[in-house]
Chain A
Amino acid sequence: MSDSRHTPRIEMLRSPLGRARGLGSAHSGAVAWWGHTLSSLALVPLTLWFVCGMTRLIGSSRHDVTDWLYRPVPLVLMLMLVLATFYHMRHGLETVVEDYVHQPIVRLGALLAIKAVTLTLGLACIVSVLRIGLL
């Protein structure tokens, strides 16, 4: 009876160093964190403005909304809000997936889907806002 039975079997022909290589810092984490922090900082006043604007627009017609967004200041602020929101959202969702999804294929699929969906929704919002504001 030896201990070999309940010791872990390593089913890989790789040295410990080889296994650990490439799993360290990617040296780009600070940029991601900084982007997330900056976008959250930008979203503080933008969200307050957005909530005020939305409560004023409750029950109004489409004409009121387009009139409001036609003015330069709301137009620019709305564009900034959309950009910051979807940038922040992409980073946040990617962090959640990276933390909780471990199966490689599902993880890769989820990360790619997040990029695709946030980009699509963000572009749809920007095009809509520009269409109201510029036409």
Chain B
Amino acid sequence: MSGLCRSRRALTRPECRTNHPQRPVADRVRQKEHAVRDVRDALYVARNTDGQVIRRPMSPHLQVWRWPIAMAVSICHRVTGVGLSIGTLLLTWWLIAAATSDSAFATVQWFLGSPIGLLALLGWTLSLTLHFCSGIRHLAWDAGWGYEPRAYRLTSVIVFACGIGGAALIFGIGLSVW
């Protein structure tokens, strides 16, 4: 084994990835990661059954998982929530303009009727309906309903269908009235 794991490239071989004592290059590469600086980091340090100090393994992040629909809905809920938060700027602008003057209100109405404004309204409407439907599912969970895998998947599909359908309905009505 001696000398086999001394290069940087050797890190890719499985036998070199174990805690083998002869890994000087690998150690120098990883030394930075191993330095524990803040409190949160320190909590990831523990001892294994041999009594050796190790870093606790961390769960891999989003990019390694395939995308089940339940995960997509969950992420969608957060993204649309942030989108709606940005959308409150429009609401605030509209209300301030309505309280201020005719010309200020005309400016808002002009912006909302422009292509960018319509796109913003479409995004806002879609965010609203998706977040609304997903939020109702959250309320159902809080009431203790819907945790079975089958219900979980089914309600995920329903959230997407109702969200997109609702947005299409609202926007369709809006455009026909306008």
A residues with CB within 8 A of B: 1-3, 5-12, 14, 19-20, 23, 37, 40-41, 43-44, 47, 51, 55-56, 58-59, 61-62, 65-66, 69, 85-86, 89, 92-93, 96, 102, 104, 121, 124-125, 127-129, 131-132
Contact B99 A132 (CB under 8 A): yes
Contact A96 B89 (CB under 8 A): no
Contact B42 A12 (CB under 8 A): yes
Choose one: B43, B89, B138, B178; the contact of A58 (CB below 8 Å).
Answer: B178
Closest to B24 in A: A5
Choose one: B34, B97, B138, B177; the contact of A6 (CB below 8 Å).
Answer: B34
In the bound complex, what is the Cα–Cα distance between A5 and B105 (angstroms)? Answer: 68
Contact B135 A124 (CB under 8 A): no
| Minimum-distance CB pairs A-B, first 5 | A128-B99, A62-B105, A128-B95, A7-B53, A131-B99
Contact A96 B81 (CB under 8 A): yes
Q: Could you say which residues of chain A place their CB within 8 Å of the CB of B178?
A: 58-59
Binds A, one of B15-23, B63-71, B145-153: B15-23
Given contacts A9-B35, A43-B135, A96-B81, 14 further A-B contacts (CB under 8 A): A1-B21, A5-B31, A6-B30, A6-B31, A6-B34, A10-B42, A37-B142, A58-B174, A62-B97, A66-B98, A92-B81, A124-B95, A125-B91, A132-B95
In the bound complex, what is the Cα–Cα distance between A44 and B133 (angstroms)? Answer: 10
In the bound complex, what is the Cα–Cα distance between A37 and B177 (angstroms)? Answer: 34
Contact A8 B45 (CB under 8 A): yes
Closest to B173 in A: A55
Q: Could you say which residues of chain A place their CB within 8 Å of the CB of B40?
A: 23, 102
Contact B35 A11 (CB under 8 A): yes
CB distance from B115 to the nearest CB of A (A): 17
What is the interface size of chain B, counting residues whose CB is below 8 A from a CB of the partner?
53
Contact B128 A47 (CB under 8 A): yes
Report if A55-B92 is in contact (Cβ < 8 Å); known contacts: A6-B23, A19-B39, A47-B132: no
B residues with CB within 8 A of A: 19, 21-24, 26-27, 30-31, 34-40, 42-43, 45, 52-55, 78, 81-82, 84-85, 88-89, 91-92, 95-100, 102, 105-106, 128, 132, 135-136, 138-139, 142, 170, 173-174, 177-178
Q: Could you say which residues of chain B place their CB within 8 Å of the CB of A85?
A: 88, 91
In the bound complex, what is the Cα–Cα distance between A28 and B30 (angstroms)? Answer: 39
Q: Could you say which residues of chain B place their CB within 8 Å of the CB of A58?
A: 174, 177-178
Contact A62 B98 (CB under 8 A): yes
In the bound complex, what is the Cα–Cα distance between A12 and B35 (angstroms)? Answer: 10
In the bound complex, what is the Cα–Cα distance between A69 and B99 (angstroms)? Answer: 10
Contact B89 A128 (CB under 8 A): no
In the bound complex, what is the Cα–Cα distance between A132 and B105 (angstroms)? Answer: 13
Contact A7 B85 (CB under 8 A): no
A and B contact pairs by CB, cutoff 8 A, 22 listed: A5-B24, A5-B31, A6-B27, A8-B54, A12-B37, A19-B43, A41-B139, A44-B136, A44-B139, A47-B128, A58-B174, A59-B178, A69-B98, A85-B88, A85-B91, A92-B85, A96-B81, A124-B92, A125-B92, A127-B99, A129-B99, A132-B95
